[in-house]
Structure 1
Amino acid sequence: MKHFRFLFIDKRYFTLLLAILFFSPCQGSSQEPETDTLSIKSSPNIDVFTRSLDSLVNVWYATTTPGLVVDTIYENAFTHSKDFNDSILIRRLGKIVSAFPLTYNNHVKSFIKLYTLERREQVETMLGLSDYYFPLFEAELDAAGLPLELKYLPVIESALNPRAFSRAGASGLWQFMYYTGKQYGLEINSYVDERRDPHKSTRAAVKFLSDLYDIYGDWQLVIAAYNCGPGNVNRAIRRSGGKRNFWELFYLLPRETRGYVPAFIAATYTFHYHKEHNLKPRPTLLPVATDTVMISKPLHFSQVAEMMNIPIDIVRQLNPQYRRDIIPAQNQSYPLRLAFHQSTFFVSREDTIYNYNRSKFFPNNQLVIKPGSTTAGSAAPPPGKAKIYYTVKSGDVVGLIADWFDVYTSSLRYWNNIRRNIIRVGQKLVIYVDKDKVDYYKEIARQKSGYSSSSADNQLADSGKDGDYIYYTVGHGDSVWSIAKKYPGVTDTDILRLNNIKNARSIKPGQKLKIKPKS
């Protein structure tokens, strides 16, 4: 209890106490710990983590935007089983210089398989994004004297997606809850959410991790507490009779947290040995060298994008902390991050950019968008685009709708003021499509709106059988991952291997895929 006496003496520790009280427990924390033995194939911990990973990386830069993440072709995608020989994995982990105990067991092995076999495409995307984010993480961690391996936390927290928003309300690369973010100095209001600012949220995360280490003095417990909250870890310690080893507390922790430390070890392994598993970073168009300019007047991303000929989604990705594509610089200045050479161009044309379409975006130089209203930019179609509507039906999700209409997931959310990917059956969504393809997309909207879940069942039932196999006809908006989810036990890797497909994005509507359902 002496740690908690210090919390009331030092202001920094008082802040941490408040964070402990309001840090939301992770999913499943209210359930009693289970004591069943976990297997590599059927671990409930890895199932929970897999669903979370699928959700986090199903974002516009990873699945629907060939302009940001450069597509690659899978070559020799499937690792030989010898690479999962226990002695090889133990030897490789032992060669990694780390302040963390890189324990090896079946839990860790199952997550290594998840990263290197089952989620290869997602991991390759994260490997590419790490070129942009890791130098930032390492600089802040090094300045605070923390282990650089903590840079892998955002890999398992957000899949390196600064716009990630969990069902519990955590946001950003480091997945801060609202109250914890405020306690660590992050600004959160109707226009700005610094939990999504890669630089400021990283500094806040470093402070939070430092405070947790002062309490536990053990990095495995620190990252467990980061995931589910110190309250859950403290409860597990009390119920264990005072034990302070993660693996001894394993079954007393919430289910998701049981997979968190193994996932962290597996992420560390995967990023060190991705070449040995033929995992190749997918290049991104995010500039490695960036700089900021301070904005002193309200500015809309469209003004920047159109005057500087930059795709607006690149501006959004470099500045994810601005919720409505608006920098609300009325009473204070805010930073705008651009590629290094673009920042110098902005300074040379600053007044021209401010004045471009100013009366449209800021009548009387005022912020006019009310919190909760439709975001700016949805009233008039973007250049070369036309407005169509799609009515949401049961079973629809934002990512699939964006795929059907070949738009960014972030744009679909932006046009319709969608938060947390929550949409309602019967909701009418605005979608901007190419003017010369309006009829094509209207037909897709008509077909999809009338495509009921029962017709989906009929499609599966009528797919055609050949011995132990089923043939599935690819429809508009289908992906290998979404097709695999229709068949319990079947993974996207199974479908790729069975159909000799090297590039998961190469499937086309009308193509027949062979599937072997699990018995």
Structure 2
Amino acid sequence: MQHRMFPRTAQALLILVTILVLASCAARNPATDKPAPTAVGPACVYPRDPLDKELDERPREDLSVLTPAEREALGVRTGIDFDLDTMDTEEVQQYFAFFTHRARGTFQAWLGRSEAYLPAVRAALIEHGLPQDLALLPYAESGYNPNAVSRAGAVGMWQFMRGTARKYGLTVDWWIDERRDPALSTQAAARYLSDLYGMFGDWYLALAAYNAGEGKISNALEKTNANDFFDLVDKNDRLRGRAKLREETRHYVPKFIAISKIFQNLDMLGFQCVDWKRAPRLADVNVPGGSDLMALAQAVGLSWNQFREYNPAFLRQVSPPGMSVVVHVPESRLAEAKAYLQNPKSRPYAGYTVHTVRGSDSLWKISRRYGVPVAVIKRMNNLSSGKLVKGQQLLVPGGGSARELADEDRASSRKTRKLAQARSNYIVQKDDTLWSISRQYGLSVATLQQANGLSASSKLSVGQRLFIPDQTGKAARQSRQEAEAVHAKLADKGQEKSKAQAKTAEPKSGKTKVVAQAKSTSYKVREGDTLYSIARRFNVSLSELLRWNSLNNGSTIHAGQEIKVLQR
């Protein structure tokens, strides 16, 4: 399915929208004056509101600052209810002056951000038979910010509270918050606004109810016997206690009307007009539960931040287990997305459990409870230490996922041990321990374990071969000579056909130098790996690793990718 930021919409609707809404603007500043962004380019990133408080600002403006052109625009009849003469309302004038002067920069930023969503919002409203001017409501609610969160806990472009969002079919949980999804929240808002208009038969009362709740407006109308919104505001003093309309609700409709007057006269007021061709061209992809969204983003050439620009509803880097969800990707990358999802390894985390940490919990206890290795839990939750906080939530894979991840760790350790043996430069002696060897060569135990694929519980045996990274001095020469003797003996028996032939030379410094023919091995990238961590794992420099794989410092890698490492 293809769309412009939202599900499929008819071209005819978008053309109709453009003609109806921006006729004056388009006449003097055609959309063709600006180049449309490329389909593959990065997501449009707009700055946060210059002044976040301006969403809730109560303007106190000097109306004498209005220019003749601004007064002309203020006098234009507009809005969703032409039967009411609201052009001279004091609150409308205050908001008009506020957004055209003191908060002008904020309003222009809102216009820029809305370009990605406006065409499809208008089309959705037409689909539901609603006035197109309602597309201006997200300016008043959030400044068209899909990630906006109010002090009261309302979220998203349309500022849904959790209960109302769920009532109108939006999922809100630990994994996903569809209030942030512009497409889904717009559909929910259209249904909600339709219900409110059916209840009150008056659009301004419906908007007041959108802000304050239908129960409060119904109760206020019943107690005051008011005829419309403005009459209700005039009679607000008759109400007592919690029945009174808050200032925010009393100013909500005038704020909407002022925004409407400005939007219909952007060119006259000197604002940069909305570019209706700015919306990115996206395609919808059905993603099964437990899919690795970070790897999906990398597969289609997006950073995580760019992916979130297109998919702000996802709260985790994994899709919710047990349910299929829709992900938006650039149309030009649809094939890459489908190819990635067809790979069984795209769902390494199917079957999650969300564990809430209790006071006595430790990673070891959680590991024992779920049968998942501590290392896997730490890797999946990006934990650098074992310290937990009461109430903290952890992702714990269940079923085959944990076993697969643990098997992957064990397979990687086996591969590291095999490589370490091939590059060995120390033979374990009687009474040797990892600690004593690490002290002898000035290394940490952890470095020695990592270089040889060993764990804390690993036991050493006499004659076992180890790789000691970065050796120097007499001990280094001795251990290397011992390793050479072992390899030479094996070569004499014909068992070293596939291995590098050791060659020795005596530099001027008197130190023994071993030169071996490089042999290539392949390493499969695991979740959480970086190029730096891989270089450290194999004790090679990052620059070498980059050169061997034709990469640079800005390159990204993804789980399952094959990385070439040269053995010496």
TM-score, structure 1 length as denominator?
0.52
Contact 2:211/2:252 (8 A) holds in 1: yes
CA shift in 2, pair 1:370/1:121, >3 Å: farther
Partner of 1:135: 119
Q: CA deviation at 1:282?
A: 8.6
1:218-238 C-alpha deviation (Å, 9 max, x unpaired)? 111110110011222123223
1:219 partnered with 2:203: yes
Q: Which amino acid aligns with 1:261?
A: V
Partner of 2:323: 332
1:283-325 C-alpha deviation (Å, 9 max, x unpaired)? 8998522111000242233213333321322211211221223
Contact 1:170/1:177 (8 A) holds in 2: yes
Partner of 1:288: 280
Partner of 2:193: 209
Partner of 1:165: 149
Secondary structure at the aligned position of 1:118 is classed as coil
Partner of 1:89: 73
Contact 1:292/1:335 (8 A) holds in 2: yes
Equivalent residues in 2 for 1:90-489 (5 A)?
90-91=74-75, 93-94=76-77, 96=78, 98-99=80-81, 101=84, 103-104=86-87, 105-240=89-224, 242-251=225-234, 252=236, 253-280=245-272, 287-328=279-320, 330-351=321-342, 355=345, 362=349, 365-367=350-352, 370=355, 379=382
Q: CA deviation at 1:80?
A: 7.2
Contact 1:124/1:281 (8 A) holds in 2: no
| Alpha-carbon separation, structure 1, partners of 2:49 and 2:155 | 21
| Alpha-carbon separation, structure 1, partners of 2:49 and 2:246 | 34
1:442-482 C-alpha deviation (Å, 9 max, x unpaired)? xxxxxxxxxxxxxxxxxxxxxxxxxxxxxxxxxxxxxxxxx
Q: Which has the higher contact order (CA 8 A, sep 6+)?
A: 1
1:14-63 C-alpha deviation (Å, 9 max, x unpaired)? xxxxxxxxxxxxxxxxxxxxxxxxxxxxxxxxxxxxxxxxxxxxxx8423
Q: Which amino acid aligns with 2:331?
A: F
CA shift in 2, pair 1:313/1:336, >3 Å: same
Contact 1:128/1:284 (8 A) holds in 2: no
Contact 1:102/1:265 (8 A) holds in 2: no
| Alpha-carbon separation, structure 2, partners of 1:281 and 1:342 | 30
Contact 1:125/1:282 (8 A) holds in 2: no
| Alpha-carbon separation, structure 2, partners of 1:83 and 1:168 | 39
1:187-234 C-alpha deviation (Å, 9 max, x unpaired)? 222112222221221111111111111111111111011001122212
Contact 2:211/2:249 (8 A) holds in 1: yes
Q: Which amino acid aligns with 1:247?
A: F
Secondary structure at the aligned position of 1:171 is classed as coil
| Alpha-carbon separation, structure 2, partners of 1:180 and 1:279 | 35
Q: CA deviation at 1:346?
A: 1.4
CA shift in 2, pair 1:81/1:335, >3 Å: same
| Alpha-carbon separation, structure 1, partners of 2:277 and 2:122 | 21
Contact 1:289/1:339 (8 A) holds in 2: yes
1:62 partnered with 2:47: yes
| Alpha-carbon separation, structure 2, partners of 1:165 and 1:258 | 21
Equivalent residues in 2 for 1:38-49 (5 A)?
none
Contact 1:170/1:178 (8 A) holds in 2: yes
Contact 1:129/1:284 (8 A) holds in 2: no
| Alpha-carbon separation, structure 2, partners of 1:314 and 1:102 | 45
CA shift in 2, pair 1:236/1:301, >3 Å: same
Secondary structure at the aligned position of 2:229 is classed as coil
Runs of at least 5 residues in structure 2 that lack an aligned partner in the other structure = 1-44, 51-63, 237-244, 359-376, 386-531, 533-568
Runs of at least 5 residues in structure 1 that lack an aligned partner in the other structure = 1-59, 66-78, 382-386, 388-434, 436-519
Q: Which amino acid aligns with 2:233?
A: F
Contact 2:149/2:155 (8 A) holds in 1: yes
| Alpha-carbon separation, structure 2, partners of 1:273 and 1:230 | 32
| Alpha-carbon separation, structure 1, partners of 2:176 and 2:337 | 22
Q: CA deviation at 1:377?
A: 7.8
| Alpha-carbon separation, structure 2, partners of 1:366 and 1:235 | 47
Cα-Cα RMSD: 3.4
Partner of 2:13: none
Report the number of matched residues. 300
Contact 1:190/1:371 (8 A) holds in 2: no
Q: CA deviation at 1:254?
A: 1.5
State, as a whole percentage, how many aligned pairs show the same letter.
Answer: 29
Q: Which amino acid aligns with 1:367?
A: Y
| Alpha-carbon separation, structure 2, partners of 1:309 and 1:185 | 32
Q: CA deviation at 1:157?
A: 1.0
CA shift in 2, pair 1:156/1:217, >3 Å: same
| Alpha-carbon separation, structure 1, partners of 2:312 and 2:74 | 39
1:152-199 C-alpha deviation (Å, 9 max, x unpaired)? 111111111112122212111111111111111222221122222212
CA shift in 2, pair 1:292/1:275, >3 Å: same
Q: Which amino acid aligns with 1:217?
A: G
Q: CA deviation at 1:112?
A: 1.0
CA shift in 2, pair 1:124/1:90, >3 Å: closer
